[in-house]
Structure 1
Amino acid sequence: MRRRLARALALPLTLVAAGAAIPQATAAPVAADSIVVGGFPVDVSQSPYTVALSSRDRFGGTRAGQFCGGVAVGRTTVLTAAHCMDKEVLGTAPERLRDLRVIAGRTELLSDRGQEVAVRAIWVNPTYDGVTNSGDFAVLSLADPLPATSVIGMAGAGDPAYRSDTAATVYGWGDTTGSGSYAGSLHGARVRVQPDALCEQAYPGGSHGTYRAETMLCAGEVAGGRDACQGDSGGPLVAEGRLIGLVSWGAGCGWAGSPGVYTRISDVLRTLGWSAASPS
């Protein structure tokens, strides 16, 4: 899911097709089943660090239990959105979800490709603010290691990948139209990093959310059309080969003047005391 002010809560974010009509939703994170709007099919070999979070007990087997995205930043370390671990989404405390797994190396959710790895431990950012969505990240520790080739590097503070107008790609299994059209295969959407001022204007507070440049990143297309959506929450935004953001929230999917808002990875690194080098 991706939390949205106009993107539905507890459903996967998706990449929506350009020009598609998108219904208004409530202000909340978007969880797991959707695909990227205005996107294109991607084989997981092109983004091996993109993983799906799964619980068949909670979300059923139709889409292999996928409810959010994530990104491998270490062989046993996955980043995702804090709101994906909300009791409101999972129906229970995350540590009590017995079958929480990470699906890696799989393009089609219902294929037997890749691996499903149990989550050994969950750490949710204690400074995460569910009202403003600031600090929207969590760290999952895996019971078994992923291949070294599945890991992506992270962009630290001052990295040129954060500059406005930088080309970026967001990945996920979410809603591809903004109206609940969930696909079972991985998609990507090409967007651009936008100036903080654009999201500050779009999300000044109140019912439209509050954009905070120190913890968030603005990305999308000014004219709309390409975006993350329901079910993509926690998935990666990648620029110049480095992870710069996690799908977090926004108004609608692909709406003109309402770019997607991502958790800024440089703030994740600062909060955790990590360097840009991947953890083990």
Structure 2
Amino acid sequence: MRRPFARALTAPLAALAAAVALPLTSSPPAVADEGVIGGRPVRVADSPWAVALASRDRFGGTRAGQFCGGVVVARSTVLTAAHCLSEDVLGAPRGEVRDLKVIAGRSDLRADDGAEIDVRDAWINPDYDGYTNSGDVAVLTLATPLPGGFVIPMANDGDAAYEAGTGAAVYGWGDTTGTGDYARTLHAARVQVLPDAVCEEAYPGSSDGRYLPSSMLCAGEPDGGKDACQGDSGGPLVAQGRLIGLVSWGSGCGRAGSPGVYTRVSDVLRVLRQHS
């Protein structure tokens, strides 16, 4: 499930790493009562930082070429999953995908509102481990900046939003049933942050991956039923108005005992500082 060219960190990314000291003042986003597996549609106007990654050349035009999610963390900067830009996902080397775009401000992929913005540059975490899935983050630089209201703050290490039991929401345009029923409109699911011990027990190390609490975050429901799924990779997990995770991997979708695993945003901030 959701599993799955590195280059030097650019100046905008160094600035992004420094920007996390800004106060986190956003209010919690509006979310439907339920929401991706086990969820309902939501308005992108209430969560403008949730964006779609698209390539019509690689994935066709039915859903505007959407294949992964992303989240706006600075006016020209979008975070997504490293594995979204792999040859396994794209079906071609990243450098051969000429029409990679970020779709922002559009709830329904069939519509023509919002904006389709060219990706000017892509940086993939050189420490991404495709076996454990650790470090699953990439940074996209947009050719045209978005308005400031599209930006969501990132939760630093020690933020209360990471605490087990915290209510959160995951967003995406991916599979809504686990059987290939891909959404055309943005969906959200209410989940909760789960204790690391639950995730370590679920994923001690196998072909699925290994849960590493230092770089990962686990969320879902104890009995399953609410989760991200295929096509949601790289999308945001949000708690208390702050970004805490990026959809990364898991076993199946919405299964009891197999919660969704997310790249921990506090570790993303560490990675950006390390490579700046």
Q: Please say whether Structure 1 and Structure 2 have the same fold, judged by a TM-score greater than 0.5.
A: yes
SS of 2:45's partner is helix
State the 1:209 CA deviation.
Answer: 2.1
State the 1:132 CA deviation.
Answer: 0.6
Q: 2 CA distance for matches of 1:206 and 1:235?
A: 24
Q: 2 CA distance for matches of 1:206 and 1:60?
A: 33
1:46 paired residue number: 46
Q: 1 CA distance for matches of 2:100 and 2:58?
A: 9
State the 1:202 CA deviation.
Answer: 0.2
Q: 2 CA distance for matches of 1:190 and 1:46?
A: 15
Is 1:103–2:103 an aligned residue pair? yes
Q: 2 CA distance for matches of 1:136 and 1:99?
A: 23
| Contact 1:51–1:70, Cα closer than 8 Å, also in 2 | yes
SS of 1:273's partner is helix
Query: Using CA pairs below 8 Å that are at least 6 residues apart, which structure has the higher relative contact order?
Result: 1
Is 1:2–2:2 an aligned residue pair? yes
State the 1:208 CA deviation.
Answer: 3.9
Q: 2 CA distance for matches of 1:256 and 1:105?
A: 33
State the 1:256 CA deviation.
Answer: 0.4
| Contact 1:224–1:257, Cα closer than 8 Å, also in 2 | yes
State the 1:241 CA deviation.
Answer: 0.1
1:205 paired residue number: 205
| Contact 1:95–1:121, Cα closer than 8 Å, also in 2 | no
| Contact 2:194–2:218, Cα closer than 8 Å, also in 1 | yes
Give % identity. Answer: 68
SS of 2:271's partner is helix
State how 1:85-124 maps to structure 2 within 5 Å.
85-124=85-124
| Contact 2:123–2:140, Cα closer than 8 Å, also in 1 | yes
Q: Which moved more, 1:71-80 or 1:206-215?
A: 206-215
| Contact 1:73–1:79, Cα closer than 8 Å, also in 2 | yes
State the 1:95 CA deviation.
Answer: 2.7
State the 1:96 CA deviation.
Answer: 2.4
1:30 paired residue number: none
Structure 1 residue runs of 4+, over 3 Å off? Answer: none
Cα offsets for 1:135-191 (capped at 9, x unmatched): 000000000001111000000000000000000000000000000111200000000
Counterpart of 1:130, as a letter, is G
Gaps of 5+ in 1: 5-17, 19-34, 275-280
Counterpart of 2:76, as a letter, is T
Q: How many residues align?
A: 245
Q: 2 CA distance for matches of 1:247 and 1:183?
A: 16
| Contact 1:202–1:208, Cα closer than 8 Å, also in 2 | no
SS of 2:57's partner is helix
Q: 1 CA distance for matches of 2:205 and 2:66?
A: 31
Q: 2 CA distance for matches of 1:165 and 1:73?
A: 25
State the 1:108 CA deviation.
Answer: 0.2
Q: 2 CA distance for matches of 1:79 and 1:95?
A: 18
SS of 2:3's partner is strand
2:164 paired residue number: 164
1:55 paired residue number: 55
State the 1:213 CA deviation.
Answer: 0.3
Supply the RMSD in Å over aligned alpha carbons: 1.4
Counterpart of 1:133, as a letter, is N
Counterpart of 1:238, as a letter, is V
Q: 2 CA distance for matches of 1:174 and 1:271?
A: 27
Is 1:136–2:133 an aligned residue pair? no
Q: 2 CA distance for matches of 1:72 and 1:50?
A: 7
1:78 paired residue number: 78
| Contact 1:95–1:122, Cα closer than 8 Å, also in 2 | no
| Contact 2:131–2:207, Cα closer than 8 Å, also in 1 | no
Cα offsets for 1:38-89 (capped at 9, x unmatched): 0111010111000000000000001100000000000000000000000111
| Contact 1:202–1:258, Cα closer than 8 Å, also in 2 | yes
Is 1:245–2:245 an aligned residue pair? yes
Q: 1 CA distance for matches of 2:207 and 2:62?
A: 33
State the 1:93 CA deviation.
Answer: 2.0
Counterpart of 1:226, as a letter, is K
Report the TM-score, using the length of structure 2 for normalisation. 0.87
Q: 2 CA distance for matches of 1:113 and 1:149?
A: 17
Counterpart of 1:273, as a letter, is R
